[in-house]
Amino acid sequence: MQDKRPMKFITFTWGCQMNDHDSEVIRALLEQRGLVWTEDIEEADVIVLNTCSVRKSAEQKVMSFLGKLKHLKESRPDVVVAVGGCMTQNQEISDQLRKSGHVNIIFGARSFHRLPSLISSYERTGNQVVETDLEEQPPSGALPAHRDSRIKAYVTIMYGCDNFCSYCVVPYARGRERSRGSASVLAEARRIADLGYTEIQLLGQNVNSYRDPEGKRSFAELLAAVGEVAGIRRVRFMTSHPRDFTREIVQAIDAVPTLCDHVHLPVQSGSSRILQLMNRGYTREDYLERVSWIKAARRPIALSTDIIVGFPGETPSDFNATMELLAQVEYDSLFGYKYSSRPDTPASTMADSVSESEKAARLQVLLDRQRESQRISYSKQLGQILEVMVEGVNPAREQIIGRSSQNKPVNFTCAQPITPAPGSYLQVKITATHPNSLAGEAV
């Protein structure tokens, strides 16, 4: 007789917010099928890995995790192991997973929503199931999601990427760009607001190339419309590609109070020569022009960026151009990465000419410079009163943790006897500043 105990599952996720959100969808879909979520791998009947291949280091983390799973699978052969996401779209890795003997289901970055039926199919046949078709159209409507956060909600507005930056696996891993209809996005935003969420983050690899299949709204118009949904107090979006970034986005932020004072605008390099080799489609000057639009806004819009150091052929003078750009723009935050050669990308055919130690040295110089810049820019907020959304408490330090509209972490104290609930908004006077956070007291 069959065991009637419901099957339990656990998910592990690597990579970007889009992957995090895909896992939230996977969770909801499996729950709809009667599976029960667990945080304890020991009691899980199904183990789902949602992987990332953006850099070699990301893949290595997944591979070492899979190594540990091999032992678990030996002691509990009935456990179903499903591996999906960006890594599985690479033929070599997919072949390796197929042959590994302890992976039962392989699903691609575009078939994550089909996992429940893939699990059923595996259970029916006992044979390994592989579904990594990138041609598959992603669903145009909203998918159910069991969100990790009770206060901030991710909403995917487009799938895939058509930019083919020469270093990047994402277009190969996620397939062609496809936008969701704006009416469906707005309906989802309304449902989310009805559930009590006040912050929405719109997601896409290049939200600026959003094309409403219904032809109703541009990205800036969609952004504004989400910001006008009753109950929504904060809207964020990422990622913006500088080539497609428009003035209308800045105008929307100026016009709609709920749009946050923050734009993430990855530059990748400050050298036009390297930008061209990267196939980014803009020059240093084009980028700086976008920045000038943002800086000319009526609202104090914070800027963050991503930078790759040690791209093939990056000379000390190219790197210096990046450092000069940093000095000019004064970013509020920055994510720096050492170039990692990715199979099948055009850059992988160029000589990976900058040594690992030189990449590490450049990254350190970059991050040190950024820390100094943030020390100065954060200190400008001393004495200001900012609206902060409460995220939680730090009991050890008896502080409340939250974020400003500019996405800066704010740690503060509150004289009220009742601790404010996560998701509430308070006015906080900034009394101290650090390179990565602000501190203050609720007023």
Q: Report helix, strand or coil for 343.
A: coil
Ranges within 84-143 binding ligand F3S (CB under 6 A): 85-86
| Residue 48 binds to ligand F3S (criterion: CB under 6 A) | no
| Residue 411 binds to ligand SF4 (criterion: CB under 6 A) | no
Q: CA–CA separation, 431 vs 378, rounded Å?
A: 11
| Residue 221 binds to ligand SAH (criterion: CB under 6 A) | no
Segment contacting ligand SF4 (CB under 6 A): 45-53, 163-171, 362-370, 384-392?
163-171
Q: CA–CA separation, 215 vs 321, rounded Å?
A: 40
Residue 112: both structure tokens together? 């994550």
| Residue 65 binds to ligand SF4 (criterion: CB under 6 A) | no
Nearer to ligand F3S, 206 or 406 (CB): 206
Q: Which does 171 bind (CB under 5 to 8 A by kind): ligand SF4, ligand SAH, ligand F3S, none?
A: ligand SF4
CB-closest chain residue to ligand F3S: 15
Contact 138, 22 (CB under 8 A): no
Residue that is written with structure tokens 């000038």 in the block: 292
| Residue 335 binds to ligand SF4 (criterion: CB under 6 A) | no
Minimum separation from the CB atom of position 158 to ligand SAH (A): 11
Q: CA–CA separation, 24 vs 31, rounded Å?
A: 11
Of residues 94, 179, 271, 340, which one binds ligand SAH by CB under 6 A? 340
Distances (CA, A) of 174 to 48, 133, 158, 417: 18, 10, 11, 49
| Residue 388 binds to ligand SAH (criterion: CB under 6 A) | no
Of residues 258, 268, 374, 433, which one binds ligand SAH by CB under 6 A? 268
Q: CA–CA separation, 361 vs 379, rounded Å?
A: 27
Task: Provide the sign of the torsion angle of the four alpha carbons 291, 404, 196, 252, taken in this order.
Answer: negative
Nearer to ligand SAH, 206 or 381 (CB): 206
Q: Which does 86 bind (CB under 5 to 8 A by kind): ligand SF4, ligand F3S, ligand SAH, none?
A: ligand F3S
| Residue 18 binds to ligand F3S (criterion: CB under 6 A) | yes
Q: Which does 142 bind (CB under 5 to 8 A by kind): ligand F3S, ligand SF4, ligand SAH, none?
A: none
Segment contacting ligand SAH (CB under 6 A): 123-131, 138-146, 191-199, 336-344?
336-344
Nearer to ligand SF4, 85 or 440 (CB): 85
| C-alpha closest to that of 410 among 426, 396, 418 | 426
How many of the chain's residues bind ligand F3S (CB under 6 A)?
13
Relative to beta strand 333-338, strand 234-238 is unpaired
Nearer to ligand SAH, 114 or 264 (CB): 264
Ranges within 138-167 binding ligand SAH (CB under 6 A): 167
Q: CA–CA separation, 133 vs 175, rounded Å?
A: 9
Amino acid at 410: V
| Residue 173 binds to ligand F3S (criterion: CB under 6 A) | yes
DSSP state letters, 256-311: -TTB-SEEE---B-S-HHHHHHTT-S--HHHHHHHHHHHHTSSS--EEEEEEEES-
Radius of gyration of the chain (CA): 23
Minimum separation from the CB atom of position 179 to ligand F3S (A): 16
Residue that is written with structure tokens 């130690």 in the block: 357
Q: Report helix, strand or coil for 9.
A: strand
Amino acid at 321: A
Number of H helices and E strands in the chain, helices first, is 12, 19
- Binding residues for ligand SF4, rule: CB under 6 A, are 161, 163-165, 168, 170-171, 205-206, 241
- Binding residues for ligand F3S, rule: CB under 6 A, are 15-16, 18-19, 52-54, 85-86, 169-170, 173-174
- Binding residues for ligand SAH, rule: CB under 6 A, are 54-55, 167-168, 170, 205-206, 239, 241, 266, 268, 306, 308, 337, 339-340, 342
